[in-house]
Amino acid sequence: MSEWQAVSGLKIAIDGPSGSGKGTVAKLLAEEIGLPVLDTGLLYRLTGAVALERGVDLDDEAALASMAGEMLTGLSWTCDGISYEGEPWTPRLRTEAVGAAASTVAAKPLVRQALLSLQQQLAEAGCIMDGRDIGTVVLPDAPAKFFLTASVRERARRRWSQLKQMGHADDIDAVIMDLKKRDQRDRERQHAPLAQATDAISIDSTTLRVDEVVDRMLGILERRELIKASV
């Protein structure tokens, strides 16, 4: 049983750049308070991966948006990951090539529009949702919003060790370069860029352990009376 109980339908937004620890923190926080986690990056990764597989031009916004719209019917997206047309896709979405394609398709307003209402519907029952525009666009009324950051070097180190564990050897300088490019694309795109919502609480995780970040979040949620200790 969870240590904490969340108020009914609680929505928590966690945004931040790649490698800031959003996914890990969201999972741990979810275990503590018993809410599902939805990783919105998986939606953009799936869109990028399906486009690559079908040879859809990553610059053809209309074709990508219509593909994303059609994808919704074959999609099952839960805390355990994403399945498409009955097959689990999550493992193959974690590669750098898919990450780069995801960042390109995510810059297209029509693609974002096609994926928006699914995210809002699934959040309705209460969840922790992580991404780039959750606090600003997807769930602007969420009563708790966090913006996680960390230095580029630390984020690259985390990404590099994840890649190594998955057997995708890459050198760390290549990971730093790729991360900087992706940061720039995510922050500078015109539509729903990576940005901190004015009412989000920023946490720099460069020198914090995951459990320390989660403890800070729990403290904030408790003070706002959004969670209470389970008896």
Q: Of 109 and 219, which has the nearer Cβ to ligand DC? A: 109
Cβ atoms of residues 153 and 208 within 8 Å: no
Shortest approach of ligand DC to residue 222 CB, angstroms? 27
- Cα gap 44→185, rounded to integer Å: 14
- What separation in angstroms does the CA of 110 have from each of 53, 105, 139, 191? 20, 9, 18, 10
Query: What's the closest the beta carbon of residue 99 comes to ligand DC, in angstroms?
Result: 6
Member of 4, 13, 29, 44 binding ligand DC (CB under 6 A): 44
Q: Does 159 bind ligand DC (CB under 6 A)?
A: no
- Pairwise CA distance, residues 73 & 51, whole Å: 16
Residues within window 92-151 making contact with ligand DC, judged by CB under 6 A: 99, 102-103, 106, 131-133
Count, in order, helices (H) and strands (E) of the chain.
8, 10
In the complex, the smallest distance separating the C-beta of residue 45 from ligand DC, rounded to whole angstroms, is 5
* Residue closer to ligand DC (CB basis): 106 or 218: 106
Minimum Å distance from CB 4 to ligand DC?
A: 25
Candidates 45, 108, 145, 155: give the one binding ligand DC (CB under 6 A): 45
How many Cβ atoms sit within 10 Å of the Cβ of residue 85? 11
Tell which one of 158, 186, 214, 218 touches ligand DC (CB under 6 A): 186
User: Could you tell me which residues are beta bridge partners of residue 131?
Assistant: 15
What per-residue string of b and e applies to 98-124 under the rule 16 or more CB within 10 Å gives b? Answer: bbbbbbbbbbbeebbebbeebbeeebe
**In this structure, how many other beta carbons lie within 10 angstroms of the beta carbon of residue 23?**
18
Q: Which is nearer to ligand DC, 21 or 131 (CB)?
A: 131
Nearer Cβ to ligand DC (21/41): 41
Decide if residue 41 touches ligand DC (CB under 6 A): yes
Tell me the closest approach of the beta carbon of residue 130 to ligand DC, in angstroms. Answer: 7
Residue 205 is a binding residue for ligand DC (CB under 6 A): no
**Structure tokens of 165?**
């564990």
Euclidean distance between CA atoms 208 and 194, whole angstroms: 22
User: In the bound complex, what is the minimum distance in angstroms from residue 106's beta carbon to ligand DC?
Assistant: 3
Residues that bind ligand DC (CB under 6 A): 18, 40-41, 44-45, 99, 102-103, 106, 131-133, 182, 186
